[in-house]
A = this chain, B = another copy of it.
Amino acid sequence: MIHSLSLSDVLADHARSRPGVTATVDGELRHTYAELDLRVTRLAAALAGAGVSTGDRVVWLGQNAHAVLELLLACSRLGAVFCPANWRQSPDELRFVLDDLTPAVVVFEPSEATTSLRAAGAGTWLQAGDEYERAVAEAPVREFGPVDDAEPVLALYTAAFAGRPSAALLSSAALVAHATSLLVVRRMEPGFTFLNDGPLFHVGTMMFCLATFQIGGTNVFTPAFDPEEVCRLIDAERVTQAFLFGPMIDAVAKANAGGKYDLSSLRFVSHSAEWDDMITVDDSPWCRSKMGGYGQTEVGGMLTFLGLAEGGAGFAGRPSPLVQVRLLAPDGTEVPAGEVGEICARGKTLFSGYFARPDLNAEKTAYGWHHTGDLGRREPDGTLTFIGPKLRMIKSGAENVYPAEVERALKTHPAVADAAVIGVPDPGWQQAVKAVVALRPDAAGGVTGGVTADDLIEHVRTLLASYKKPRHVTFVDSIPKRGFTPDYDALDAAHGGGGYPGNA
């Protein structure tokens, strides 16, 4: 175990190396690293007392709180797996999570949903707040042996595959490695204070919580995003960074329009003149380059960083120093630069598969590489461009055509408001490429007006290999969506799609 470094080990070292540094702030509760270490030891003992042992799951049903980090660390100390569930989900969705994970312990914030779930749920249920604090205070201090850092410790639910979400399992080794890559790109140092105002069930907030923990900084927790409270906490706790983007930044700037709060401790990305005046514009690669890159839960957060490829052609940047990236064809061979392939990865930050999904895990690790399910392209300078989700592939003759790539090309036409691409059965070629296109109102007229199907086919032909251009174009008022992506099942049904190779 000499090379192992679990999250529990990191905490044990912080308790010695920075005993008096504030580790967590949550409302009135403030704990130093020495206190956090002791609380986590007691919490681990309480969980063990409730029957949690190696590999067992512990679920949090609630908003952000210091207890989320404590439960993760206590699970690390025990060798158990912690899952902060998405509290925005419906009771049915949460029930799916509980049925899937069969947790030994559920820690919950009271709500209509948790009341009904508790009534039907197995395992030990512990109420957040006073009951949780009492359990921590009353548990004994005992010794826990070292835990292998390659074992999973965190489960985060991700996008639906085959109609159901799956829990990505992240090991301590992956989380520590990913946190360290953020320390590099974000120039995080001791003294860094992170405001956890985004949801901790999502890797976007969790990854910064853990990087802050890794460098021995301070994590401030607030239940959910509230612009005024964000201002107050940045001021009161001298916050270095928060989970903020686009509209959230505007909301915070608006809440502080009169300059009521001092936000100068916040080192963040430049956004608007008003915002830049309130904060300290950050010169780290992370913020200098507009916080770009490509990531997903399964790679621990970010796989590539724009900040490692300033001036590069690809807007997804370059890989983190701790991973390898390859763009692979469906047969596992590498596609040449300039061609679209599936973004695949190996390295220190990668997840350990999905909980209880052996078939999916085998599929995602084909040819010894993690398959992200997303498409990308390597530019001549080596930087990466994210194309879009792979979803389903069209087979036209011997060639593979990815809808996302053709859609991107279509959308560069000034008359196109939105587009989706499907495959339709073709007697000669197995499938033919069909574009379903919504034109901009001012370009209206469709096939009878200014912009014709031939215009769009010609436009794509100038951008992509000829076999990728649509053979058919249909004009519609709008593209049906499932979340942010086209609803391909509905499009196939409405426009004659079918004949796909593989599993679609």
Interface residues, chain A, with chain B CB atoms under 8 Å away: 1-5, 9-10, 12-13, 16-20, 146, 150, 173-174, 176, 179-181, 183-184, 187-190, 214-216, 285, 308-310, 318-319, 321-326, 337, 346-348, 350, 365, 368-370, 378, 381-384
Contact = CB atoms under 8 A, between A and B. Distances in A.
Find the residue from A181, A183, A324, A384 having the highest chain B CB count within 10 A: A324
Contacts of A189: 285, 308
A190 B318 contact: yes
Q: So how many copies of this chain end up in the complex?
A: 2
A13 B323 CA distance: 8
A180 B346 contact: no
Nearest to A186: B184
Contact of A17 (B325, B350, B368): B325
A381 B18 CA distance: 6
B176 A19 contact: no
A321 B215 contact: yes
A72 B134 CA distance: 56
A378 B16 contact: yes
Contacts of A370: 2
A215 B308 CA distance: 9
A368 B2 contact: yes
A180 B350 contact: no
A241 to B, nearest CB: 16
A204 B19 CA distance: 30
B369 A20 contact: no
A328 to B, nearest CB: 12
A326 to B, nearest CB: 8
Given A3-B348, A9-B346, 18 more contacts: A1-B346, A1-B368, A2-B346, A2-B347, A2-B368, A3-B346, A3-B347, A10-B324, A13-B325, A16-B326, A16-B337, A16-B378, A19-B381, A20-B381, A20-B382, A180-B184, A187-B187, A190-B308
Nearest to A189: B285
Given A9-B324, A321-B214, A173 B346 contact: no
B318 A17 contact: yes
A3 B349 CA distance: 7
A409 to B, nearest CB: 24
29 contacts: A2-B370, A3-B346, A3-B348, A5-B322, A5-B323, A5-B324, A5-B348, A9-B346, A10-B321, A10-B324, A13-B319, A13-B324, A13-B325, A16-B378, A17-B319, A17-B325, A17-B382, A17-B383, A18-B318, A20-B382, A179-B321, A180-B181, A180-B184, A180-B321, A180-B322, A184-B188, A184-B215, A187-B187, A189-B308
A184 B184 CA distance: 5
B174 A3 contact: yes
Contact of A321 (B183, B187, B309): B183
Contacts of A326: 16
A485 to B, nearest CB: 26
Find the residue from A2, A318, A381 having the highest chain B CB count within 10 A: A2
Contacts of A285: 189
B2 A350 contact: yes
A97 to B, nearest CB: 26
A30 to B, nearest CB: 18
A19 B214 contact: no
